[in-house]
Chains A and B, each alone.
Chain A
Amino acid sequence: MKQVTRAIYMVAPGEHIVIEVVATKVGQFARVDINHTMLTPRPGVTPLTYDHTATNDLDTDFGILTCVFPNAAPEDASYQLFFIDPASGSRFTGSDVRKSDGVHLRGFELRK
């Protein structure tokens, strides 16, 4: 896995990657979808940690992170995306979402 930019990554078809969503000053109210699938986080693990296997064709996998901020959360509450290559141990910093942002979703691409 290689990071091109914070929102674009190069992966090999069938490659296993790990996605983390770290919540700060807010509960874990987030969801990750890749293509047509909602990812299920590893049970009992904090932060939210998702395993994803890139599809085997050469088309791009498109992902969306959706976040919810309760009214009680402070304005500087945030969620931060991380992309991890378990094979090499590399950890890449992705996009972040703050409560003060006007849009609470972020897209990312896993290009082959």
Chain B
Amino acid sequence: MKAQIRRSLRPRFRRAVWCAVALLVTSFASPLAAQAQQSGAGAAALRQEIERLDALLSDPGRTDEGRRQIERMIVARKRQLSEMRVVDLEHILEQTRDILTPEEVRSLEAEIAEAKGRVDEMPRPNPAPRRDGADVQQASLRPIVPAAPRATGATRLAPAPTAAVAPPRNGSDCFPDASEDLKKYVHEVAKNIVEAEHDTSRGTPDERFQELFGPIVFEAMASSVGLKEAELSSLARQEAKAVGEAVIEVGRDDKQIGASARTDGTTTVAEKPGFANLLGFAIENGAVQQNVQGTTLTLSATPYSLVALDQGDTAETYRRYTWLAAIGATASFELDDANDPLASVTRGHLNEWTVRIRLTPDNSARSERAEKIFNTYVLDELQVGNVIAGELRDSFRGKAGAAQKALVEKYAPTAAPVGGVVEAALADTKAANSETERVAQIESQLLCELAKDIREPIRNKTFFVEVESLERIRTETIPALVRAKLRQEEAIKGFEKALEELGKRPEVTFAYTNHRDPLGSDYSNLRLLYQQTLAGSIKLVANGGFSLYSDPDPFKNQNTLRDFAVSASLEGVLKRRIPLVVGEDLNLSPITYTLAGRYQRLFENRNIAGRTADIGSVQFKLEIPVGAGMSIPLSVTYATATDLVKENHVRGNFGFTFDVDKLFFLKKIVGH
């Protein structure tokens, strides 16, 4: 019986054993298969990614920086693929060693070694940068080799990195607590070095950097020890406001100051006493009290402008020839051809010429009075430079001084041809799409370098400035700097207001005009012009004078005394401003309006039928700026009569004013 049972169980047992073996083999083989399947899938995915990246790389519109990024990604994936191949081959060897011939084993081992060698030759990808804001690990943008130490024995800073560079980071990420002034200085220097790349008339790129490096380093140090928080102090603001208000009061003080500043003038019913310093001209259409209408070209200049052309319009020239700046001259010509106005500038076309002399003191922004206000009330408040210079001196002593010099050499070497951070930044950003973008990129690079060279070492307590100096900066210099910045800002605002008040003082000018009348007798006009700015920036202009015939014609009822006239006008500015055509930010010129009245007693019209000696007029005028240094004067005039006809009328006039100075300046800017 037992034998029968044994005989019946043998086939079942054998089947069970074979099933178990099959199960074991399957379970053992499946990870391998799965792995093979996975790595196959992974390798395929990597190959697909490489193909996509290759396609992006071949795009001709790609920037250099974009190309570098893509190449880095391709390299990283190719390395991964090679690593996967090594692993795969090692697995195959491990799993099949017992069934392979020795020759096959040696061949496989050689293939594995070769694959490993290829992986080792490939560059390693950089680790992803940490993004926690407090700590910054920023690899250099490119391997920067510090300049060779100078003969003075200045020490080098940190050695140049040799690994492949990481993509540039935003400056605010690198230096999150940079003060506003640090960012402003770095932005300015970025702009300057880009400008200097093509135009070294103001210095080379390195020099343009060096001239702001002291303030930059100072602000970077101060920012690293808490300047940003300190700048929010409200107590300092209140104190600073009082400084500004004190300066404004000086500008208002009648006893101290006197007359007001000059302003530019245009021809209206009530003539303004001001005149342009440099050459300009105006074209007007229409006359106010005559029957004949003509097109007039007026040129104006001062003797000072001719001297300044020769000697330079410096403070020294202005101080020496201030009296020439008080004299102005204009000449008006009858226009033949409006398209070529200067062709009419001949004696034969001369309508009139005028000489004016300012009788009140100079109250312009360049006057001695303005400088006196500055020296007495503003100069002492400009303390920011003092704080910066003082702290640089205190911090960079001895060894720290040598390290500071090395820092300058790193960024902007004093001896060519070795390049520094500035040169590297210019080279790195050549492919930027615009100058604005380039400046922003350089700004970021510089802030990141400063973070690496100053902010991090300060936080790690490895900065070359002594710890005591940093403590002094934190506890003494920063509070002094914050106060100085606020007081300086308020003092400058107050100075501006004081100059405005200075310019509102009354100004009196004497003017002589010679009128050439081709149809009648020439005559001269002498008059006094008075101008004062009233409350709300409204200007009052008043004129009074008389005319004399040089050769009166008795048949025309003329005597030597031709007429006397008085006029007055009020001029204001509309709040709305119009941007110039050339560029909205360049200049926003306001629309000005004028309301004027005039009375003239023309003696030769006495007792003449159809004429009246008493001529009155009222005019409303708008001056509308329309383009680069150009404006259109529009006016409506009511007159009781003209010189020749005793008949009241209403007339509209328009003209075109062209400021040569403004246009030349704007052309210069646009040309850049």
Contacts and interface: CB of A to CB of B under 8 A. Distances in A.
A76 B185 contact: no
Interface in B197-219: 202-204, 206-207, 210-215
Name, among A7, A24, A111, the residue most crowded by chain B CB atoms within 10 Å (CB to CB): A7
A53 interface: no
B487 to A, nearest CB: 13
A105 interface: yes
Contact of A33 (B184, B210, B370, B385): B385
Given A23-B314, A68-B382, A108 B393 contact: no
B211 A95 contact: yes
A34 B385 CA distance: 9
Given A47-B314, A47-B316, A34 B499 contact: no
Contacts of A96: 202
Chain A interface residue bracket vs B = 35 or more
A19 B379 CA distance: 18
Contacts of B379: 31, 38
A35 interface: yes
B366 A26 contact: yes
B371 A72 contact: no
B207 A34 contact: no
Nearest to A57: B397
A23 B210 contact: no
A71 B492 CA distance: 11
Name, among B212, B213, B364, B386, the residue most crowded by chain A CB atoms within 10 Å (CB to CB): B386
B188 A24 contact: no
A14 to B, nearest CB: 16
Contacts of A111: 405
Interface in A1-48: 4-8, 22-29, 31-38, 46-48
A95 B499 contact: no
B397 A68 contact: no
A103 B371 CA distance: 21
Given A26-B315, A47-B316, A59-B397, A103 B496 contact: no
B414 interface: yes
B43 interface: no
A33 B389 CA distance: 7
Interface string B157-195: 000000000000000000000000000110110010000
B191 A102 contact: yes
A51 interface: no
B398 interface: yes
Nearest to B366: A27
B511 interface: no
A6 B366 contact: no
B365 A6 contact: no
A8 B210 contact: yes
A23 B312 CA distance: 10
A27 B365 contact: yes
Nearest to A58: B401
Name, among B210, B213, B319, B495, the residue most crowded by chain A CB atoms within 10 Å (CB to CB): B210
A31 B382 CA distance: 8
B314 A22 contact: yes
Given A36-B390, A66-B382, A95-B203, A75 B665 contact: yes
Nearest to A81: B211
A70 interface: yes
A27 B365 CA distance: 7
Interface string A50-65: 0000000001111111
Contacts of A75: 665, 669
A47 B312 CA distance: 13
Contacts of B628: none
B530 interface: no
B555 to A, nearest CB: 52
Interface in A92-112: 95-96, 101-103, 105-109, 111
Contact of A46 (B210, B313, B316, B495): B316
Contacts of B393: 35-36, 59-62
A62 B214 contact: yes
B374 interface: yes
Contact of A35 (B188, B261, B389): B389
A70 B188 contact: no
A6 B378 contact: no
Contacts of B207: 5-7, 95
B636 interface: no
B353 interface: no
B385 A31 contact: yes
A34 B390 CA distance: 7
B231 to A, nearest CB: 17
10 contacts: A38-B380, A61-B393, A62-B392, A64-B389, A68-B495, A75-B665, A95-B211, A107-B213, A107-B214, A107-B388
Interface of B: 184-185, 187-188, 191, 202-204, 206-207, 210-215, 261, 312-316, 319-320, 364-367, 370-371, 374, 378-380, 382, 384-386, 388-390, 392-393, 396-398, 401, 404-405, 408, 414, 492, 495-496, 499, 503, 661, 665, 668-669
Interface of A: 4-8, 22-29, 31-38, 46-48, 59-66, 68, 70-76, 95-96, 101-103, 105-109, 111
Given A4-B414, A22-B315, A33-B389, 6 more contacts: A23-B314, A38-B386, A64-B215, A68-B492, A103-B188, A103-B212
Nearest 7 CB-CB pairs, A to B? A64-B385, A107-B214, A36-B390, A72-B365, A62-B392, A23-B315, A7-B211
